[in-house]
Structure 1
Amino acid sequence: MKHKRKIEISVISDVHLGTYGCQAKQLLTYLNSISPKKLILNGDIIDIWQFSKRYFPKSHLKVIKKIIDMASDGVEVIYITGNHDDTLRKFSGTAMGNISIVDKLVLNLDGKKAWFFHGDVFDASIQNAKWLAKLGGYGYDLLIVINRMVNWCLERFGREKYSLSKRIKNSVKGAIKYISDFEEVASDLAIQNGYDYVVCGHIHQPKMLLKKSKQGETTYLNSGDWVENFTALEYQFKRWKIYNYQHDKLSPFYADEDIKEMEMTDLIAAITIVDKKVI
């Protein structure tokens, strides 16, 4: 078994378990490579909007089982609700052992204040027309499936992979403006409220940048997603960094052989029967 990297905090968001776009195997490899004190799940981990009994593969169940196991082993797991898992907001403030559910979070990190939230509160399309946002979610999921087929063909011909959704986001002025506005609004609010860090998800755009205004400054951070970018945020030695699975990944390994060998029925049983260590 290979040594795991010890870090203070790992932040992941926008996993979208239960959708075709979710890259659960890569996420599981990442989770098996780290030993954090805190694991912050910053929204849209389980995609309840697009949840289907017909599609929830074994690899997705393994991610849930892994997170529960981490909590059992003493990792503090904080689930911040997002828009695709907003059903969980009725349980906000609930804690079960090392697992807690919140809508937002403030932490003191080495004398600096960090503000965590998913980010959908800024999205007018979700607040005012939820059905339209859901329709967009289905379209995005379909685009990812098509993209997988395109990339399979490209790889067969020795070509580099191509992201259709990134191409669209980077070429549509409205999408670029939305991302820019999101970053500005989050940063301005953080500065006004005296937060040194503002940590979001939601827009699937990993980012770390210093934002300044007449009132002060803050560091804006976005954990990206596990659909296209395969990114997380890590805090260690008083510093933040963006972990990128495709660039930073270690040699492939699978630390938890017990999860690897489990059958689907065993995984479901392990998830639904609460581990005594968690309570």
Structure 2
Amino acid sequence: MAKREVDIAVISDVHLGTYGCHAKELLKYLKSIKPKILILNGDIIDIWQFSKSYWPEEHTKVLRRILKFVTDGVPVYYLTGNHDEMLRKFTDFNMGTFQLLDKLVLEVDGKRAWIFHGDVFDVTMQYSKWLAKLGAVGYDTLIWINSIVNWLLTAMGRQKMSFSQKVKARFKEAVKFINQFEQTAADLAVDKQYAYVICGHIHHAEIREITSTQNTGSVMYLNSGDWVESLSALEYNEGNWTIFKYHPDNFKTDVDEDDKTDSEDLNAMLDVKNLLERFKQDPH
């Protein structure tokens, strides 16, 4: 199966280690592309909710695939989010073509892109982190229940449904929060004279031009969505940004031939459960 060449691929909010994570679908996506740059824009590993009792093999395979990009010489930028904020103590760590950062300014065909997760704009994160963590557990539980319901609906030949999207649609405050998030990101990007501002965090894939509140200019706002519900990524190729949306019909066959390549060496590097357990226990 030929791989699609893309200049830049951006993914965020994968939440490895949770029931809602669609690691199998993400793995198929990562195997299908040949990026010149890969950006992991926060909440890739959900250290908040990590439990040694739940870490499927597919979740390790996603990390192995990312490491394979690194060993192949592809620049990989891991930008920390709130669910993997424990990694922020290692900011500026780099190994080969891999870099761990809090934010990134990238030159994209002569235009500057400001890239960061976006939790800095979340008031709940700033003042009530315990409430945000409680909400994350509730969200993951909702997704888990939703997956069971969708399995039953599929077995009955009926269309799947999204509980969280229905909840968001019913509450104007959720829509208001998304709009405020996007506007705040755009205002700051215009002030800093960036051409693009790229975020994650709110699980809402988007590409749109936003004019600043003060009407001093505009910026292209982009959000990569997530791999819990929308199963989306941002791609830049031949001068254009697009939103990739996973659809199973486009991935009829698995690409597993190169999954065995260097698997023993990579698995030796990925004692994920013990490593994450140490992160959670570390008080600093």
Give the TM-score of the pair, scaled to structure 2. 0.91
Q: Structure 1's 143 and 262: CA in aligned 2 closer, same or farther, altered over 3 A?
A: farther
- In the other structure, the counterpart of 1:25 is 24
The letter for the 1-side match of 2:170 is S
CA-to-partner distance for each residue in 1:86-134, whole Å, 9 max, x for gaps?
Answer: 0010111110111100000011111111000000000111111111100
- In the other structure, the counterpart of 1:250 is 250
* Structure 2: runs of 5+ lacking an equivalent: 273-284
Cα distance in 2 for partners of 1:170, 1:191 equals: 29
- In the other structure, the counterpart of 1:173 is 172
1:1-279 superposed matches below 5 A = 2-213=1-212, 214-246=215-247, 250-259=250-259, 268-272=267-271
Cα distance in 1 for partners of 2:262, 2:60 equals: 10
User: May I ask how many residue pairs the two structures share in their alignment?
Assistant: 270
Q: Is contact 2:230–2:245 with CA below 8 Å preserved after alignment?
A: yes
Cα distance in 1 for partners of 2:209, 2:224 equals: 15
How much does 1:258 deviate? 4.8
How much does 1:225 deviate? 0.1
Cα distance in 2 for partners of 1:4, 1:151 equals: 31
Instruction: Quote the RMSD (CA, aligned, Å).
Output: 1.9
How much does 1:165 deviate? 0.4
Cα distance in 1 for partners of 2:27, 2:224 equals: 16
SS in 2 for 1:113: strand
Cα distance in 2 for partners of 1:170, 1:64 equals: 33
How much does 1:262 deviate? 10
Q: Is contact 2:28–2:251 with CA below 8 Å preserved after alignment?
A: no
How much does 1:188 deviate? 0.9
CA-to-partner distance for each residue in 1:142-165, whole Å, 9 max, x for gaps?
Answer: 000100011011111111110000
CA-to-partner distance for each residue in 1:49-105, whole Å, 9 max, x for gaps?
Answer: 000000001000000000001110111110000000000101111101111000000
The letter for the 2-side match of 1:30 is Y
CA-to-partner distance for each residue in 1:3-28, whole Å, 9 max, x for gaps?
Answer: 10011100000000000000000000
Cα distance in 1 for partners of 2:89, 2:269 equals: 24
Q: Structure 1's 170 and 93: CA in aligned 2 closer, same or farther, altered over 3 A?
A: same
Q: Is contact 1:68–1:271 with CA below 8 Å preserved after alignment?
A: no
Cα distance in 1 for partners of 2:29, 2:229 equals: 15
Q: Structure 1's 231 and 252: CA in aligned 2 closer, same or farther, altered over 3 A?
A: same
How much does 1:250 deviate? 2.7
Q: Structure 1's 266 and 101: CA in aligned 2 closer, same or farther, altered over 3 A?
A: closer
Give the TM-score of the pair, scaled to structure 1. 0.92
SS in 2 for 1:108: strand
The letter for the 1-side match of 2:231 is F
Cα distance in 1 for partners of 2:265, 2:236 equals: 34
* Structure 1: runs of 5+ lacking an equivalent: 274-279
Identity %: 54
SS in 2 for 1:229: coil
How much does 1:268 deviate? 3.8
Q: Which moved more, 1:14-23 or 1:207-216?
A: 207-216
How much does 1:189 deviate? 0.8
Cα distance in 2 for partners of 1:242, 1:178 equals: 21
Cα distance in 2 for partners of 1:72, 1:66 equals: 10
- In the other structure, the counterpart of 1:276 is none
Q: Is contact 1:61–1:267 with CA below 8 Å preserved after alignment?
A: no
Cα distance in 2 for partners of 1:134, 1:29 equals: 30
SS in 2 for 1:195: coil
Q: Structure 1's 165 and 94: CA in aligned 2 closer, same or farther, altered over 3 A?
A: same
